[in-house]
Structures are given as structure tokens and as C-alpha cells.
Structure 1
């Protein structure tokens, strides 16, 4: 009798989860934020390692005189995070308005004591995307994955780095951490501030107006902000544009059938497709979930490599050396349909040439995804591949 009750309870829980998720998704599609931006201009520099990126970010915050507005998906509780928060507190103590947002799950280490210390220093802190009712299970998976910092309305940072010592390679598990992050100036800064202020409004109810301090910019750039709707269209359009070469770098590769079909068609028309993912995984099942898709594309001519010199967290797509997409979105279902993300499209060929060179420097040292690797993968990996099929919508 007890066993029957347990089975029924498990069944009801699964049913509740499925209904909650489907209804939550339907509701989400109705209320998704649509922030549309045309091509604008800006200037930018690229960071692929955490230490120089943090150094420049902290320096820019230290020199701020008007206001500081920051959103990070994840803020850890280690010396890097403590240094970051101290820089913010120091600036707020000078009388400069400082606003900080973190995702409710990604920022869970920002405990009550830390929040009180921020408030005492004058930093206005809030959590974004708090799980709640209705659709609790769905909202639990609906994360704000963006990373945007805007200083004085003149300087913006956006990309893949969060805040923590992981991102400077100081963990034995991952070692060197490969990522891409941009520092931007010019008119594009206002658009990134609009995205951040929309998140601020949803978290606090307070409407903020972007500053007009951007100055001029020399290069074309476009901001693409998505809310679990529209990203698949953007990526599909990029893939269809490819005529000669398509480079994809991502920590998680779990495409939809639509994107898989577009990649297959790109191969059929002679596009040289490269995909790079990490050998190590930072979440259960995500690597295994991608293996069937990688195998499918490998059989059709794609060149695939596992980055094994640390952890590969970069999110990059390069089309024919003419367009580069850098930002926060991964090539997975979560970024496509659940998360809030923000990407930047770059068109400057010299910059893209340098980025392409960096990509191939990593790729030439990557472990090939080939028949030998597939044949020698462990039993545990094979089992996890089967389990991952069920979990794909959440990965």
C-alpha cells in the first residue's frame, strides 16, 4: 500500500511539473519582452581572459562620476567577488548612484549579510527573475542570463564572463577559462543600457532613462536582446547567410531540429562548418545531450573539436569572416527558449579576422570529435546520452 502511494505521488508530481511547464511556456510567449534595435555604431575591444577584463571593469567603475549600472547572471562569494562588491561600495560611498542586479538563482550566494552591507554602503541591489507562482516550476527555469555593465552611460561591458575566481582560471576542476567579453563605447552603449534598465524595471518597478553620454562610434554594431523568443530566428538567419565558412564556439551544443536542418543544408552547399565545445562539462548531461547532434553533423562533413586546455565558455558565431556574434547566448534550448540573453553583432573585418585567428588557435589544439573518440567514450557517457534525450528542453 505504501509503495502504491509513493508511485501515485511521483506520478502526480511529474504530471504537475509537465502541466506547470507547458502552461508557463504558453504564458511566457504572450508576455515576452521584445526589445528591438537597429544597427548602430560603437567602438570595442575584446577580452578572452578574466583577469584583464576584471582589471579594466574595476578601473572604469573606480573612475565613474555619474552612475554605475550592472547586471551579472552569477556573482560568486570569493575574493574576486568580494573585490568587485568592494569597488561598488567604495563608489557608492562617494555619492555616485550604484545599481546592481543579479539573477535570483545565479546570485544565490549574495546572502542577507552581503545585501545589508551593500545597502549600508549605498549600493541599490535587487534580484531579477525571482521564482514564484503561478507556474513555479517554469519560472524556476526562466533565468536572466545577461551580463551587462554600464558606467556613466559612456562605457559598456557585455559577454560571457560572470564574477568569480572560476573566470580567471583559479579552480583545479576547470583550469584556464576561455571566454569572450566586449568593452564598448559610442551610441551602442545607450542600447545596452536600455536592456539593463528594462530588467531593472521588471525587478523593481522603477523606470530609468538611459543617459545621452555616448559620443560617437566608428564601427557598425547591433544589439540583439532576446527573452526566450526570437533567438532561434536570429541564429537561423545567420546560418542561412553562410556561403563559405561557419564557425561556432559554445559551451553547450543542443540545437533545435530547425537549426540542425539549417546546419545540414549549409554543409550541403559547401560551407566549411567548425564547431568547438569544451571537453569538460560544468553541468550534468549537457555534453552528452549534444553528442547525437555532433555525430549527425560530423557524418555530413562538419569539423568538431573538444577544447581541452581548460573550460570553453565562449559564445561565438562567425559567418564568412563578415559577421561575428558575441554575447551571452549559448547554442542550446535554454538560451533559445527560456533565458533572457543579449548578443552583439560585429561587422568590422579586421576585428573578425583577429577573432577568427583566436578561434583556430584554440581549435588546432582541440581533441577531434571522430570515430575513435566515439568508439572509446565511456559506458557512463553512453548512458547519460540516453538520459539527456528526456532532459533536452531544460538543457
Structure 2
């Protein structure tokens, strides 16, 4: 009898969670934040490793004269994280306006003691996307996955790196960390400011004035795509559908919507070369198993899938026809497509895209192709996890 009660309780809980998720999703879609930016000019520098990125970021922060606005999905409490927080406190004590916005769940390690120390130094701090009622379960899945830094309105940073020792390649299990991050100059930085302002308003209720005009100029065309769990599917579809020769996708999690998967198979039927890089290792449960059926279907349709085996592959990139590319915070998965807040840059510069394409193909060489031989090596355990992952796809 007790066993029956337990089963009934579990089923009731699952039903309540599914109802919460369904109602929360409807509420989210009715109240989605839409930030519409036109292409503008800017210049950029790309980073593919954590050490040079944080060296330049910290240097720019130390040279800040007026204002620092920073948003991350994850900041930890390890050595590199403490160094960043100390810089922010120092700049606030010098009289600069310093604001730090972190995702509530992603940065759960930032406790009240750390926040108190930041506030005492003059840093304005807030958490983004705090789970709350109604729709508590759905809101707990909605994450602010953006990583943005704006310094004096002139310098912007955006990309896939969070702040922690693993992003420097110092995690013994994950090893070398492969990622992309951009340092931006020019008018494009104002669009990053507007994105930060909107998230800061939602977290604190404080409105900002217009973005600070930049004192730097840029020559290349860039567009910011700030998505809120709805528009990203349209962005990726537009990129893939215009491809005539090739689509290269780098992502740590390949769990596309059926609509995007059809875009990829349609591209293959047009004769487009489709290559996808994913990591050999997984940093979260079930994400690899949730993606494997799509990888196998893509291979059957004529695409190529490569599993990066020189560390952990966290890059988020779409390269189209050697003409344009998308780099940012969004993964090619259901969570980025339908739940998370993301921010990407679409870059229209063939010369830059050619260099990025060469870097992508170098990563292909450092990867193992997923083929019939590897698929035949899947264990019973892997196949069971693939079946379980199918149920959790909306959260992955």
C-alpha cells in the first residue's frame, strides 16, 4: 500500500511540474522581451583561449575611467573569480559606477558574504532571473545565459567564456577549454549597452538613459541578436536557409528543434556541405545522449559530425559560405532556443570569416568523426541514457 502511495505521489508531482512548465511557457511567450537592433559598424578581436581573454579584460577594467557594466552567467569563487571581483571593488572605490549582474542559478556560489563585500565597496549588484511564483519550475529553467562587459561605453566583450578555473583549462577532467569570445569597439558597443540596460531594469526596476556614445570608430558590419527564448530559432534558420555552399556549426550541445533540423537536411539536399563539431566529453548529464539521435540522423542525410577530443569544446559558432558568421552565447540546443536569454553577434566580413573557418577546420582535425564504427560501439548503458534523454530534451 505504501508503495502505491509513493507511485501516486511521484506521478502527481510529475503532473504538477508539467502543468507548471506548460503554463509558464505560455506566460513567457506572451511577455517576451524583444530587442531589435540593426546592423552597425564596429571592430573586433577574437579570443579562443581563456588566458589572453582574461588578461586583456582585466587590463581594460583596470584602465576604466567612468563606468563598468558586467553581466555573466557564471562567476565562481575560485582564484580567477576573486581576482575579477577585487578589480571591480577597487574601481568602485575609485569612484566609478560599477554594476554587476549575475544569473541567480548559474552563479549560485556568490553568497551573501560576497555580495555584502561588493556593496560595501560601492559595486551595485543584482541577480537576474530569480525563480519565483507563479510558474516556479518553469522560471527555475529560464536562465540569463548572456556574458557582456561594457567599459566606459567604448569597449565591449561578448562570447562563451564564463569566469572560473575550468575556462582557463585548469579542470583536470575537462582539460583544455575551447571557446570563442569577442572584444568589440565602435557603435556596436551601444547595442551591448542597451541589452545590459534592459536586463538591469528587469532585475532592479531602475531605468537607464540612452547608451553612452562611443568615442571609438569601427569599419566592419556587425549585428547584435539579443534573444529571449523565442527569436533565436528564426536567427539560426535565416543563416542556414541562405547557405549555398557550406554551413559549419560548432556547439557544446547539439539538440536542434525539428524545424532547424529540417533546415539542415534541406541544405544537404541543395548540395550544401554541413559540418558539426561537438565535444567528445560532456559537462552535464544527458546532453550528449540527447544529441546523439540528431547527429546520427544528420550523418544519414549526408552531413558530417566531429567529436572534439583535445579538451572540452564550448565554442558557439555558425559559419555560412565563407561570408558571414554568428558568434555569441547561444548553444545549438533546446535550452538556448526556447528558454534562455542569449546574445550573439552576426559578423559580415569575409576576411574574418575565412580566418574563423580555418580555425574551425583545425578543430575538425583535432576531432574524431562520428561514423558507423563509433555508433556500433555504443553500450547498452548509452542506449538507455539516449531513451531517458528524449524525455528531458525541452530542458537540455
* TM superposition score category, shorter chain reference: over 0.9
Instruction: Give the match for residue 335 of structure 1.
Output: 336
Secondary structure of the residue aligned to 2:203 is helix
Matched, 1:324 2:325: yes
Give unpaired runs (5+ residues) of structure 1.
none
Aligned counterparts, 1:158-307, within 5 A: 158-209=158-209, 210-307=211-308
Query: How many residues of Structure 1 are paired with residues of Structure 2 in the alignment?
Result: 395
Distance in 1 (alpha carbons) for counterparts of 2:38 and 2:190: 12
Distance in 2 (alpha carbons) for counterparts of 1:374 and 1:323: 33
Distance in 1 (alpha carbons) for counterparts of 2:292 and 2:175: 23
The runs of at least 4 consecutive aligned structure 1 residues that moved more than 6 Å come to none
Matched, 1:369 2:370: yes
Q: TM-score, normalised by structure 1?
A: 0.99
Give the RMSD, CA atoms, in angstroms.
0.7
Instruction: Give the match for residue 70 of structure 2.
Output: 70
Q: Output one character per residue of 1:85-142: Cα deviation in whole Å (capped at 9) or x when no partner.
A: 0111111110111000000001101011111111111111110000000000000000
Contact (CA 8 Å) 1:77, 1:109: kept in 2 or not? yes
Secondary structure of the residue aligned to 2:235 is helix
Secondary structure of the residue aligned to 2:274 is strand
Distance in 1 (alpha carbons) for counterparts of 2:324 and 2:36: 19
Instruction: Give the match for residue 394 of structure 1.
Output: 395
Q: TM-score, normalised by structure 2?
A: 0.99
Instruction: Give the match for residue 82 of structure 2.
Output: 82
Distance in 2 (alpha carbons) for counterparts of 1:39 and 1:104: 31
Q: How many angstroms does 1:390 deviate by?
A: 0.5
Secondary structure of the residue aligned to 1:246 is strand
Instruction: Give the match for residue 114 of structure 2.
Output: 114
Distance in 2 (alpha carbons) for counterparts of 1:251 and 1:365: 15
Distance in 1 (alpha carbons) for counterparts of 2:83 and 2:42: 29
Give unpaired runs (5+ residues) of structure 2.
none
Matched, 1:309 2:310: yes
Q: How many angstroms does 1:378 deviate by?
A: 2.4
Q: Output one character per residue of 1:143-193: Cα deviation in whole Å (capped at 9) or x when no partner.
A: 000000000000000000000111010010111000000000000000001
Secondary structure of the residue aligned to 1:362 is helix
